[in-house]
């Protein structure tokens, strides 16, 4: 089951495999989270083995230019929606002794310029990960996080990036020891491990996938 705000990319992904279902919605809206949970119950008889909290928003903005509305928007998606989806998923995960994978960021521990809302939110995600791992260990539910560095996603593939955005990309690349952005598959590989039985003794951990960026 995949979800996101834009239906067309979801539809395209689901068309590649009959086992994939999707729900279009905005997880900052609790009613849309309800819709996701109802679809899991209807289409998969309520069986939920793995929850991947992957949605996020990264505003690049100095605190000097920020409003409280910018804070609300960042934390609504990066923190509140993650907590809401986890709380609503938990009854199903407890039944399957499933596991939760939260997406953090290298910035949670190694911050950079003009990213205060994002890195603040991701620091919360990492602490939720550790606290929930303790809460749920005896229930057989594992909770881990992945902390990616700079990953080559669609935002960086745009041909019409502004000079400021391109300068920001170069600044990021210069801080990465391997001198390149990561690929989405490189994050997915770690998620597959954490979701598998091979990671059955792993909980409360944060795995860096950052090309060495967090080693400074």
CA distances from 78 to 37, 54, 75, 216 (A): 19, 9, 5, 25
Q: Which one from 71, 113, 118, 201 is the annotated catalytic residue?
A: 118
Q: How far is the C-alpha of 54 from the C-alpha of 143, rounded, in Å?
A: 14
CA distances from 14 to 9, 10, 48, 98 (A): 9, 6, 18, 23
Question: By the 8 A CB rule, do 175 and 113 touch?
Answer: no
Question: By the 8 A CB rule, do 109 and 115 touch?
Answer: no
- Within 63-167, strands assigned E span 99-103, 142-148
Has 71 been annotated as catalytic?
A: no
Residues with a catalytic annotation lie at 118
């Amino acid at each position: 089951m995949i979800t996101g705000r834009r239906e067309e990319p979801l539809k395209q992904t689901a068309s590649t495999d009959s086992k994939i279902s999707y729900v279009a919605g905005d997880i900052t809206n609790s009613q849309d989270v309800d819709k996701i949970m109802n679809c899991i119950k209807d289409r998969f008889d309520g069986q939920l083995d793995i929850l991947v909290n992957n949605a996020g928003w990264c505003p690049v903005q100095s605190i000097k230019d920020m409003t409280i509305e910018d804070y609300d928007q960042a934390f609504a998606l990066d923190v509140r929606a993650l907590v809401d989806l986890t709380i609503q998923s938990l009854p199903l995960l407890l039944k399957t002794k499933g596991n939760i994978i939260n997406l953090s960021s290298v910035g949670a521990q190694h911050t950079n310029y003009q990213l205060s809302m994002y890195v603040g939110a991701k620091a919360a995600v990492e602490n939720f990960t550790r606290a929930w791992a303790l809460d749920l260990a005896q229930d057989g539910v594992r909770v881990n996080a992945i902390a990616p560095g700079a990953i080559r996603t669609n935002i960086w593939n745009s041909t019409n990036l502004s000079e400021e955005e391109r300068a920001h990309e170069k600044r990021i690349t210069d801080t990465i020891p391997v001198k390149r952005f990561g690929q989405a598959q490189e994050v997915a590989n770690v998620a597959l491990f954490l979701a598998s039985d091979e990671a059955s003794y792993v909980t409360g951990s944060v795995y860096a996938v950052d090309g060495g960026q967090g080693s400074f």
